[in-house]
Structure 1
Amino acid sequence: MNNYKLILQYDGTRYSGWQKQGNTDNTIQAKLETIAGKLTGTPTDVNGSGRTDAGVHALGQTANFRCEKKLADTDYIRDYFNHALPMDIRVISVEEAPTRFHARLNAKEKHYRYVIDNAIVPNVFERRYAARIPSGHEARIPYDIKEMKKAAAYLTGEHDFKSFCDNRHMKKSTVRTIRDIRIANDNDRITLDFYGNGFLYHMVRILTGTLLEVGSGQRSAEDIPRILQSLDRREAGFTAPAPGLFLVEVIY
């Protein structure tokens, strides 16, 4: 069995997320599997490292697919995909992987980035890739980055992040480890970088919303331990909109 690892970039603006769905073929996974099936000559599953939501982007999504026959060289596979894919999805690289490699099951850490355009006048050309919060609001919010970093420190380490998960019927463990959260403000472009061993449904977006509420004075950094302990989604902040979120890299 041959196994191929793909690194992908995509603009998620016009897609219904990563995961294939029965009622639409307008997902990243569906597009890739259609092409992979033509490449291999048989229906082919493409496994992603995770399910990015509708409107979320990727700078470095990882995927893999297996097939019985040996395909042509990896550059040919890359070019075959890119020739057939729409221009807002690109396969950056392809390499042969061990047979047992699985993009999701073997992931050790993921890096997500949330971007906010907090300029007095938002950048027209960044509107799909940097969130404006509140949505469409023209006034700049003077976020306290120091307080946001203080709150972020409470979130690092291993915790039960049930309060930061939008799946209320989650049956699996909601314990995750966040290794680091980095927050920067460069000329009113605020970036929040999250590094962790896994993230729950909407977790990064809820973490972002909560940190922004701390930065805007709506809640205190010292509220974070209580929110974690409550295990109640209603105690955490709002879910930040999808367009500001990027999957940057997956570490194996």
Structure 2
Amino acid sequence: MSLSIHDELHLSNRSQWLRAAVLGANDGLISTASLLVGIAAANANSQTLLLTGLASLTAGALSMAAGEYISVSSQADTEKADLAKEQHELTHNSERELLELTKIYEQRGLDHDLAHQVAVALTEHDALEAHARDEIGLTDISTAKPLQASIASALSFIVGAIVPVMGILLLPAETLVWSLASLTVVGLILLGVVSARLGGASIIPATARVVIWGVLAMLATSFIGGFFGVAV
């Protein structure tokens, strides 16, 4: 019976899509809720609030998708340029690159002879992969994936933004500002817990930072809406 070399699950494998998903959900929930709280504080009617929420959800999801794709694509372009440069060096200065790889392994604790043996073996196996991993720091986990980040960010933004939008439909109009803020805090707590669990982090700090920044955003927009709003 064959066994996998790595049976344990490494949470860092989730880093690329998890970062985009948490950012998208957090932004969708906070930005949409803060916008709606601010407008509700200005005594806007429910139709205006619903239209605003849907517009915020749509524009925000598209903006997050485009922003993530452009940003991560730039990272991918940089990685490709580094790999092309490394391939050029391997083709024209192979001995110097072998020495460079040897020095890297020496700095990690191997003696010179063993470091040289490892460098030679890995160079013969796949020189570019060895330099990408050990010199540049590129791995399958860290490699930029623009489309994955874009989709994760857009979908998670929608999931986050739909919470305050649904609140407009379900919460009582008389206490909408406080009810919407309370609903958002609950959503932020759930987001903090879920992101901490997925990332293997401590739940309390992860949840606290999400809730604190969300509350500050809602307080700011509520103040602005109440200050500039005109009672109908």
TM-score in terms of structure 1 length = 0.21
Instruction: Work out which structure has the larger RCO, using CA pairs closer than 8 Å and 6 or more positions apart in sequence.
Output: 2
Structure showing greater Rg? 2
TM-score, normalised by the number of residues in structure 2:
0.22
